[in-house]
Amino acid sequence: MARVTEWWQASRKASSVWRLTRLYTVLLLSVVAVLLVVLYQLSIGQMSRQQQAQLESLIAQQTVLAEQLNTDEFIAQFKLQAESSRQYILTYQTEKQLIGRLSFIPEQISSCPRLTRFPIWLDKYDEIRLLSGCSQPLGAGSLTVAIDDEALYALKAQYISASVIALILALLLGLLTGLVFSLRVLKRINSFNQTAQLVEAGQLSARVALSNNNDEYDHMALHINTMLSQLEHSFETVSGITDAIAHDLRTPLSHLRQQIELELLDKRQQDQPTTQLQSMIEKLDEILFTFSAMLELTRLQQQKETKTQHFKIIDLSKIIIDAVDLIEPLAEEKEQIITSDVDLNITLKGDATLLFRAVYNLLENASKYAGEHARISIRLTESGFTISDNGLGISDNEKNKVFQRLYRIEKSRHVAGFGLGLTLVKAIVQLHNGQITLLDNNPGLQVMVEFPDTICCHNNVNKHTNSNGNNKEG
């Protein structure tokens, strides 16, 4: 029972290939089993039923004769019938004599019509044979009827052996056929999944491969490819419009900033108030920074192949240490505690400047949104790094939305920003074939970044702690 339960639990977790294969195999075995049962009933079963019916008819005949004839007449006719019967072995036992072809009556023989098998020596065959028979009280004695059915039992044994072989062959055929069929289906499904993963990773030009079968999978692939083409066109249109606006406005805004700076210089020389002009420059700087980030994001997404050609082997632990050193003054102002665990030497092929910017942006976001007196930690792993804080965190339904351009969470709108930080980080991570995941830190947020081609590991024993001051170990 334990093994059956174990198999059932494993089956529920199995892939769709094995579920389809099992279903097909079970159906095939069911059909073969039904056919074998029907064939048995029409052949051996029919022979057994006819034999049983003849036996009951013979017993009924002897019962009628025993009622109509006296004892001597019944015994006389019984002797003649017992000697002439070829198929059945008849024996009649009274208190004085045993009449028939059996030399004794077995003690454990059952009452008719249920049959019992028992061995007996037959002079005709010069051997011991197994007979099937039953006994029934009749008149002044007991009637025993037996039949030599070894041929029928041998036929049953052969049929059972053949049925077992047929079921085993059906099982093997079902598993093989179902597996081949399921793998072909799974191969087509995997092509859809791979295309979806590429699109999810930012490759909007990915398309589902078509076959020459022109089947329903090809029809579905055509619809998906058409949808992806429209999606790519819409994305390029929106990105193009956004980038065009950013590019066209950046130049006049830069000129405007220069004019404000000149005005600011004149005001300072004349000892006049400059607060309003300084505020205008800060606002313009934020807008210009946003436009520059949008244009850089577009370049990262559209020039992936060109940028990856200039990748070099870099030390991820050194980048993290530099980013932590740069964020420390901002953390000290908010009385935040930053701890880093970079005791592994992780190297990968990439752009050091872009990866530094990604790490710093994530640390800056953690410091900005976690609030004062927060605890922030960054830890190097064998495949990347994780950054955790104990702030407010991000709800599950917004974890994917925060990677969209210009998207901001409602509860963070009081903090300065334009919603491009995480979008830019994700573009940099995807440029390095990595993956970024947002998880709950309970409380707070945990950002997990993984790269597939990291080389690990040597212990650096380099831990860094900032708690309203500097405390480092290296």
pLDDT at 470: 45
Q: What is the pLDDT of residue 137?
A: 87
What is the C-alpha separation between 169 and 152, in angstroms, rounded? 25
State how far the Cα of 275 lies from the Cα of 264, in Å rounded to an integer.
9
User: What is the reported pLDDT for 421?
Assistant: 75
| Conformation bin of residue 139: beta by default, left when phi > 0, alpha when psi is -120 to 50 | left
Per run of 10 residues, the mean pLDDT along the chain (length 474 residues) is 54 64 85 92 87 85 85 84 81 85 81 82 66 85 84 86 92 82 79 84 79 84 89 73 66 79 80 80 73 65 60 89 90 88 86 88 87 89 90 83 72 56 84 88 90 72 51 44
What pLDDT was estimated at residue 388?
Answer: 93
Ramachandran quadrant class, 79 (left: phi over 0; alpha: psi -120 to 50; beta: rest): alpha
Q: Model's pTM, two decimal places? A: 0.49
- 344: exposed, middle or buried (C-beta count within 10 Å: 0-12, 13-18, 19+)? buried
Q: What is the crossing angle of helices 275-302 and 216-269, to 10°?
A: 150
Question: How much is the pLDDT for 345?
Answer: 84
CA–CA separation, 337 and 137 (whole Å): 103
Residue 296 has a pLDDT of: 66
Residue 219 to residue 196: CA distance in whole angstroms: 17
* Closest by Cα among 255, 256, 257, 190 to 221: 190
CB 116 within 8 A of CB 90: no
The Cα 330–Cα 341 span in angstroms is 20
The kind and range of the H/E element at 89 are strand 88-93
> What span, in angstroms and rounded, lies between the C-alpha atoms of 454 and 465?
25
> Coil, helix or strand for 259?
helix
Q: How far is CA 27 from CA 5, 31, 40, 41, in A?
A: 21, 6, 20, 21
Listed residue (105, 93, 80) closest to 137, CA to CA:
93
**How many other CB atoms are found less than 10 A from the CB of residue 56?**
14
Helix (H) / strand (E) containing 333: helix 316-333
> Mind listing the domains of the chain with CATH numbers?
15-200 (no CATH), 216-302 (1.10.287), 309-473 (3.30.565.10)
